[in-house]
Structure 1
Amino acid sequence: MKGIAFVGKIWRILTVAGLTFSQALAQETKSGIPLDEPWKETVYEFAANNLQHMAWGLEHSERDYQLARVLAAGDGLEIDEDVLFAAAFLHDMAAFVPYAVAGEDHSKTGADEAGTILEPAGFPMNKLPSVQGAIRAHMYYAEVPAEPVAQVLHDADTLNFLGAIGVTRIISLTTREGLAKDLPTAVATLENFSRQLPASLVTATAKAMAADRVQEMESFLAALRNQSADGRAL
């Protein structure tokens, strides 16, 4: 019966998250992150079932996790993989009902609520404060503590607003969110992000990546202006 239950759990993840059969059998996420602990399977399944969004859903969390590891390696930072996994996949949970609290920053709410998902999943709860700190600090405007996971998650999340992926995310929000209520507003957001966000980065590796990503955005925006009467025909 335990084997049947395990297969059922894998198939639920497979169906919701769009994993390949080989990925499901290998117990890894769609981007290849190992689900090598039962609690990781549970957290990933929770995210796959409840945190789906075109700009800050499951795939965004996968990108944040993968990029955060690259940044840590680039800066020679030693990180706790458990803390990073938990924070990466739950950092935006309070952007979703029923976790969102009106008038409260989703970073704070998400940090407060993370334990309600992690404890029953079997996460080592002595690490919860580090997870909460990383979630609180993940946004580009946040004050970032001198804690490696918080730093690399913050920078990874900020870099996800830059470059081709940043353009894709913001454009996908057009008519759905205030920062992209229409195409001109979305373009203005992209212009502001390309100018302002690099200064909020902490790690040297992220700062180097940001330069390339800003160039990608500027090339896109220049082409868009050229093809839309300098933005007047968007």
Structure 2
Amino acid sequence: MSITASSTPFRTTLDTLLRKEAKPADKYGHQPRLYALTRLVGKGTEYDDDVVFAAAYLHDIGVFIGHRPEAPDQLRQWNHVQYALETVPDMLMGANFPEDKIPAVLAAIATHQPHDKPESIEAIVLRDADILEQLGAIGILRAVAKTGRDTRYETFTPIIAFLSRSLEELPAHIRLDTTRALAAPRLALLRAFLAGVEAEAQGCLF
């Protein structure tokens, strides 16, 4: 089972911080959903829940408007993970997060993307849960929401290409059996969605 701290003030502080910093506002939902998924992914596994909570809430701070660059050429080269690694320690200290756990939070953030190779159990739980957030109905919503407001996705066509890659590539990166079980219905839904788009677009998807 997870090692969960009792009621800890830093959790409320981090949640309040993320509600303020998440721009566009819909990006806030990823953090509490991700943390909820870590509880499912990590069920039956011993890990430090404080570390996972902090990493789940702060790993994407660098993708928010106001933290990332806006110029398209700069945005293409932007490393939101490196930004988080440089920014998160001060945020955690300001929230009275246990200082001795900060390195573990940073290690989880550093390897939260699908192509990374997390080593600690906290990092594995976080990365597996983050993969689930890119699949199923939520994965579709998050992807389609980028259309027209992310310079990489001006039309639906690159969004469908992105979702197709997710379907093909992400399952191989899952590490835990619990995650594989949770991923199965999400993969089926995503597969059905992509098939539906192909059938309904009639070759005219813009």
Same fold (TM over 0.5): yes
2-structure distance, mates of 1:54, 1:181: 20
Structure 1 match to 2:8: 37
Residue 99 of structure 2: aligned partner: 125
The equivalent of 2:200 in structure 1 is 227
Residue 72, structure 1, aligned to residue 35, structure 2: no
Deviation at 1:144? 1.2
Equivalent position of 1:49 in the other structure? 20
State the secondary structure of the residue aligned to 2:42.
helix
Residues 1:215 and 2:188 are matched in the alignment: yes
In the alignment, residue 204 of structure 2 is paired with which amino acid? R
**How many Å separate the matches in 2 of 1:142 and 1:108?**
14
Deviations 1:7-55 (A, max 9, x none): xxxxxxxxxxxxxxxxxxxxxxxxxxx9932222211111010123366
CA distance in 1, matches of 2:188, 2:129: 18
**Residues 130 and 169 of structure 1: is their aligned pair in 2 closer, same or farther, counting only changes over 3 Å?**
same
1:140 matched to which residue of 2? 114
How does 1:83-98 map onto structure 2 within 5 Å? 83-98=51-66
Structure 1 residue 208: deviation in Å? 2.3
Listed as ranges, the gaps of 5+ residues in structure 1 are 1-33
| Native 8 Å contact 1:179 1:186 kept in 2 | no
* Deviation sequence 1:142-171 (CA, Å, 0-9, x none): 1211x1111011011111111111111101
Counterpart selection for 1:112 from 67, 86, 103: 86
Task: Report how far residue 61 of structure 1 moved.
Answer: 0.5
Deviation track 1:203-228 (CA, whole Å, cap 9, x = no partner) reads 11112222221110111111122211
2:29 maps to what in 1? 59
What TM-score, normalized by structure 2, do the two folds share? 0.87
- Aligned to 1:209, the other structure's residue is in SS state helix
SS of the residue aligned with 2:201? coil
Runs of 5+ unmatched residues, structure 2:
none
Structure with larger RCO (C-alpha < 8 A, sep 6+): 2
- CA pair 53-199 structure 1, distance change in 2 beyond 3 A: farther
Amino acid at match of 1:119: M
Identity %: 31
CA contact (8 A) 2:118 2:124 kept: yes
Provide the rounded CA distance (Å) in 2 between the counterparts of 1:93 and 1:221.
Answer: 30
Q: Kindly provide the amino acid, as one letter, of the partner of residue 186 in structure 2.
A: R
Q: Does residue 1:196 correspond to 2:169, yes or no?
A: yes
| TM-score of the two chains, using structure 1 as the length reference | 0.77
Aligned residues: 196
Rounded Cα–Cα distance in structure 2 between residues aligned with 1:178 and 1:100: 13
Q: Which amino acid aligns with 1:39?
A: F
Query: Which has the larger displacement, 135-144 or 45-54?
Result: 45-54
Partner of 1:186: 159
Aligned mates of 1:178, 1:104 — CA distance in 2: 13
Q: CA RMSD in A?
A: 2.0
Offset of 1:137 from its aligned partner? Answer: 1.1
- C-alpha separation between the residues in 2 aligned to 1:179 and 1:67? 28
The residue that corresponds to 1:162 in the other structure is 135
CA distance in 2, matches of 1:173, 1:97: 13
